[in-house]
Structure 1
Amino acid sequence: MSFSAEDLATLLDEANHAPWESVRAALATIDGQPHPRVGWLTGHLTATKRGYWTLVAAATATPAPDAAAGLTRLMAWEVDATRALNTEALQIPLMHSNERLTVSELLRLNARHTAWHAGQIAALATHTRLA
């Protein structure tokens, strides 16, 4: 299955920023002190996105994300970075977790991974934290 850079950017943008069922939407539902697992999940998403993009940058000779970028800035950056990839770059093979994937497949994995954790954050956002 082949996705264009625009298709992949849309998947990531929706997983990151859509008004419903995204990381941004899940985080917006938190009122008060968040469940401690939310902090772990946002840190994990930041680290994995940075890791994915470090692999993509090395394979495609494109810029890597800013090492100081937090999750919000990283999510916006990756949408623009995806749109900038050409068709040839999307087909470049790379290794992730001992699996051979194309750049396109890794970006689809990134979108699925993001949506998975957005759901976990949303589920934890409904838990009331007591002091």
Structure 2
Amino acid sequence: MTFGAEDLATLLDEANHAPRESVRAALATIDGQPHPRVGWLTSHLSATKREYWTLISGATGRPAPDDDAGLTRLMVWEVGAARGLSAGALAQSVQHGGQSLTVAELLRLNARHTAWHAGQIAALAGRARMA
């Protein structure tokens, strides 16, 4: 199955921002002091998204995200950046985790990775903070 830029942007947008079952939705359920693991998960998501987009930038010549963008800004930025990728850019190869992937495959990995951690954040949202 081949995904175009609009398809990939939609996958990322849904994993990042959908009203239910997204990072934004999971974070919105946290009331009060979050579980310490939530902080790690959001930092990890920011770091991995930057890593993915640095690889994409190197392969496509497109700009990488601003270093000072937090997770919320980064999630918005990447949806627009994905929409702007050409079919040729999506077909470029990158090396990630010892594997050769196309940019399109890396974006699909990004969406799956984001959804995975959104679920973890949601599971932790109701837990009381431990000292």
- Please report how far the alpha carbon of residue 95 of structure 1 lies from its aligned counterpart in structure 2 after TM superposition: 0.4
Letter in 1 for 2:129: R
How far apart, in 1, do the equivalents of 2:65 and 2:4 lie?
Answer: 21
Letter in 2 for 1:128: A
Match of 2:37 in 1: 37
**5+ residue gaps in structure 2?**
none
How big is the alpha-carbon RMSD for the aligned residues of Structure 1 and Structure 2? 0.9
How far apart, in 1, do the equivalents of 2:43 and 2:52 lie?
Answer: 14
- Please report how far the alpha carbon of residue 128 of structure 1 lies from its aligned counterpart in structure 2 after TM superposition: 2.2
Superimposed CA distance per residue, residues 44-100 of structure 1 (whole angstroms, 9 cap, x where no aligned partner) = 000000000000000000000001100000000000000000011100111001100
Tell me if 1:112 matches 2:112: yes
Letter in 1 for 2:79: V
**5+ residue gaps in structure 1?**
none
TM-score, normalised to structure 1, is 0.98
Match of 1:123 in 2: 123
SS of residue paired to 2:101:
strand
Match of 1:19 in 2: 19
- Please report how far the alpha carbon of residue 130 of structure 1 lies from its aligned counterpart in structure 2 after TM superposition: 6.2
Moved over 3 A (4+): none
TM-score, normalised to structure 2, is 0.98
How far apart, in 2, do the equivalents of 1:78 and 1:84 lie?
Answer: 10
Aligned length: 131
Q: How does 1:1-131 map to 2 (within 5 A)?
A: 1-129=1-129
* Percent of aligned pairs sharing the same letter: 74
